[in-house]
Structure 1
Amino acid sequence: MLAVLVRVTAPTQEVETPNLALVEDVVWAAAEPRDCLEHVTVEVDRGLVSIMTFVRAADKEHAEAQAGALIGRAVHRAVPFRGWRVLECSAVDL
């Protein structure tokens, strides 16, 4: 299992930042079997959401691709994230 940090940013500072539970629900709702998602943790700050995903993947490159696709899909589908965009997607060593 590999950890990937994905940061998502709001289109403007005036946009309300979703709460932790909503972000987790949106990610799990968007997850598909091919994402191999095992665990999610979330931190929110004004205009920025940091999502640490844990995925089953062969290597860091695949983990980043899986997590990036998942979070991109979640942001695209969820009304509370309308206009938000993925700022960073990086595998991390824990």
Structure 2
Amino acid sequence: MFMATATLVAAREAEAAKLESAVVTDIVWAAAMPGDDLEHVHAKTTSGRIDLTFFHQTSSPDGALFAAAEICRRALNSSPTLANWRISAGPQLPDALPGSGAAFA
């Protein structure tokens, strides 16, 4: 399993209301396709910012990154709730913590 992270931000300050994490998670799942091999997604929301963590059963880290990017693009393009949001950072593989071993298993 590989983990990838991404950050979405409101494109305009007027759209910076805090979204509920459960709503964002539902939007992400609706945008995911079977080929994305998405196993789990976690959304942390604050005003004007959404931090996403994706867990994929892809065969490589690059596959997880590609799948996360595609899911983000689909979510932004298909959900009216995210119409005024954009990808700010990511997708990327998380840095491993010292002594924690690999960032993916």
| TM-score tier (shorter) | over 0.9
Cα distance in 1 between the residues matched to 2:77 and 2:28? 11
Cα distance in 2 between the residues matched to 1:22 and 1:64? 23
- Amino acid across the alignment from 2:92: S
Structure 1: 4+ residue segments shifted above 6 A: none
Taking every aligned residue pair, what percent have the same amino acid on both sides? 26
Tell me the TM-score normalised to structure 1 length: 0.92
In structure 2, the gaps of 5 or more residues are 95-102
Tell me the TM-score normalised to structure 2 length: 0.83
- The aligned counterpart of 1:12 is 12
Partner deviation per Cα, 1:46-83 (whole Å, 9 max, x = no partner): 11100101011122211101111011101110001012
Compute the RMSD of aligned alpha carbons. Answer: 1.2
> Greater CA radius of gyration, 1 or 2?
2
Q: How many aligned residue pairs are there?
A: 94
- Amino acid across the alignment from 1:67: A
Give the drift of 1:8: 0.6
In structure 1, the gaps of 5 or more residues are none
1:91 has 2:93 as partner: yes
